[in-house]
Amino acid sequence: LMLAMISGFVGGILTWIFNEDVVFAQKEPEVRNMEPNPSKVIVAEEIYLVDKDQKVRVELAIQPDGRLGFRFKDETGQSRLAVGLLPDGSPVINLADQNGRLRTGLVLMEGGSPGISFYDQNNKFRAGLGLDGSGNPGLRLFDQESKRRANLILLPDGIPSMGLFDQ
């Protein structure tokens, strides 16, 4: 049960981190209208690194609520890698495909429990691997609608437990 709660929370956080409207609330600046040498531009609480064509390729931003985000973009402008810290200090790493869709994420929760989440090409949460607060490992599998279908966990006494769900 605890592992299922953690997986839901992790899934929500990973989606939250990779959602461009939430992670970086301000619109990208028009780099061509800035100082003549954009390699030296620092904008308030945000830093943008641009390529030779003046396209933003790396963003570093601190939001008013304390979230820190570091995002890498490919040549087309899609976010492919996001590294961030949540307001409680929990680190998060997200990987996206060539269309900018979240595919996998790694989070270390405030209590120290790690988790890895996997998403399909339709942004549906499909699998999660993690440790609960006591260090017990678990694997969760979800169907195309992100409904839990199977769990495999090790209980505190080391006994494996498997759950299959049809609803």
Residue-wise pLDDT for 119-140, tens only, equals: 999 999 999 999 988 899 999 9
pLDDT of 106 higher than 80? yes
| Contact residues for 27 (Cβ-Cβ < 8 A; gap 6+) | none
Q: Tokens in use for 13? A: 């956080």
Check: CB of residue 144 under 8 Å from CB of residue 154.
no
pLDDT band per the 50, 70, 90 thresholds, residue 101: very high
> Which two three-digit tokens encode residue 49?
């690194």
User: Which range among 38-42, 68-72, 74-78, 143-147 shows the weakest confidence by mean pLDDT?
Assistant: 38-42
Q: What is the mean pLDDT of residues 147-162?
A: 95
Q: Residue-wise over 100-139: b if at least 16 C-beta within 10 A, else e? A: eebbebbbbbeeebbbbbbbeeeeebbbbbbbbeeebebb
Percent of the chain exceeding pLDDT 90 equals 53
**For residues 68-84, average pLDDT:** 93
Tens digit of each residue's pLDDT (9 = 90 or more) over 16-73: 444 443 344 445 666 666 655 555 655 467 888 899 999 999 999 887 777 889 999 9
pLDDT of residue 47: 86
Strands (E), 46-113: 46-50, 56-62, 68-73, 79-85, 91-96, 102-108
- Name the 3-class secondary structure at 83: strand
* Amino acid of residue 104: T
> What's the confidence (pLDDT) of residue 151?
96
Mean of the pLDDT values across residues 74-81? 93
Alpha helices in the chain (DSSP H): 2-18, 20-23
* 166: pLDDT strictly greater than 60: yes
Burial class (CB in 10 A: 0-12, 13-18, 19+), 13: buried
Give pTM, 2 decimals: 0.69
Of 14-18, 80-84, 117-121, the poorest mean pLDDT is in 14-18
Coil, helix or strand for 69?
Answer: strand
Edge-to-edge strand list for the sheet holding 148-154: 46-50, 56-62, 68-73, 79-85, 91-96, 102-108, 114-119, 125-131, 137-142, 148-154, 160-164
